[in-house]
Amino acid sequence: MSISVTDVSKFYGRQQALKSASFEVKSGEIVGFLGPNGAGKSTMMKILTGYLPASSGKVAVCGLDVTENSIELRRKIGYLPEHNPLYTDMYVTEYLRFVGGIYHLPDIKTRVEEMIEMTGLRPECHKKIRMLSKGYRQRVGLAQALLPDPEVLILDEPTTGFDPNQVADVRNLIRTLGKSKTILLSTHIMQEVQAICERVIIIHQGQIVADEKTAKLDTIHTAGDTIIEVEFDRQPAPEQLIAIQGIMRADYNGSSWVITSQPSSDVRGSIFRFAVENDLILLGMKQQKQSLEDVFQALTTK
């Protein structure tokens, strides 16, 4: 297990930012850490990287307890913080070499050149960090995080501040990195998770509310109603449909019936039997998938 979080809580004074959160990330996974602003994403990431102690609970990265092995873990974890504390008066190349020095990297110059290439910093690398746009500063932060060739990457909102083309670049870079590294990235953007992550952990008010393969997110039962679109050869009376157990509404839109059923009840079998019993031909039946946005909203609004 690359990352293992057990029952982690965090208090800032009296405010509780994390409530007994637990999850695991396996080696080589790309996991999205999704939640609205203020959910506790950055707090969790600071704890994972050893920058902030948890109030209670256990965190291990690469099998090492983060509170007991913080020095050793600095080289195994690459961390892109949300507010990148860069020395803005230094030149990009100069800064990266400086960081490489802190890590005691062998052949720093070559390594820095590789990272400049990989993160697309080449056109801006002769400038002072202060002169860079937010997107390019993020790239410097990424290059810095990647310098020691860490096993685990913790990226706190890695694409904020980028324009759409740059977002695509960075997502591609993350996907490429994901082939050889374990990545946990936070975002408040659902599409970002869909675009890069195999799995998603959703956090809301400090609690983990979902942990699921991205492809299966739409199967999470939320409080929302289920909508089924049904077509018959002849039209029954709406009362007949509503009489079916589990169906709450039936609206005819001119070509098909839009049937609302109770959350988490599957009435498709009953609709089929209803058609047979009433000598109707079922021309079509389709259960509307809930969008991932619906799932996210249902889980993170209360």
Ligand X SMILES: Nc1ncnc2c1ncn2[C@@H]1O[C@H](COP(=O)(O)OP(=O)(O)O)[C@@H](O)[C@H]1O
Chain residues that interact with Mg ion, rule: CB under 5 A: 41-42, 82
The least CB distance from residue 98 to ligand X, in Å, is: 27
Q: Which of 38, 53, 263, 284 binds ligand X (CB under 6 A)?
A: 38
CB-CB contact of 126 with 96 (8 Å): no
Q: Counting contacts by CB under 6 A, is residue 292 touching ligand X?
A: no
Instruction: Select from Mg ion, ligand X, none the partner in contact with residue 100, using the beta carbon and a kind-dependent cut-off of 5 to 8 Å.
Output: none
Instruction: Select from Mg ion, ligand X, none the partner in contact with residue 245, using the beta carbon and a kind-dependent cut-off of 5 to 8 Å.
Output: none
Closer CB to ligand X, 42 or 214, in the complex = 42
The least CB distance from residue 120 to ligand X, in Å, is: 26
Q: Counting contacts by CB under 6 A, is residue 17 touching ligand X?
A: yes
Q: Which of 41, 97, 139, 204 binds ligand X (CB under 6 A)?
A: 41
Q: Counting contacts by CB under 6 A, is residue 300 touching ligand X?
A: no
Closer CB to ligand X, 40 or 158, in the complex = 40
Closer CB to Mg ion, 41 or 199, in the complex = 41
Q: Counting contacts by CB under 6 A, is residue 35 touching ligand X?
A: yes
Q: Counting contacts by CB under 6 A, is residue 37 touching ligand X?
A: yes
CB-CB contact of 82 with 33 (8 Å): no
Find the residue with minimal CB distance to Mg ion. Answer: 42
Q: Counting contacts by CB under 6 A, is residue 39 touching ligand X?
A: yes
CA of residue 139 relative to chain centroid, distance: 20
Q: Which stretch binds ligand X (CB under 6 A): 35-43, 136-144, 165-173, 274-282?
A: 35-43
Helix H or strand E segment including 113 = helix 108-118
Q: Which stretch binds ligand X (CB under 6 A): 39-47, 87-95, 139-147, 165-173?
A: 39-47
The least CB distance from residue 288 to ligand X, in Å, is: 30
Instruction: Select from Mg ion, ligand X, none the partner in contact with residue 40, using the beta carbon and a kind-dependent cut-off of 5 to 8 Å.
Output: ligand X
Structure tokens at 172: 């591609």
For binding to ligand X (CB under 6 A), which residues are involved? 12, 15, 17, 35, 37-43
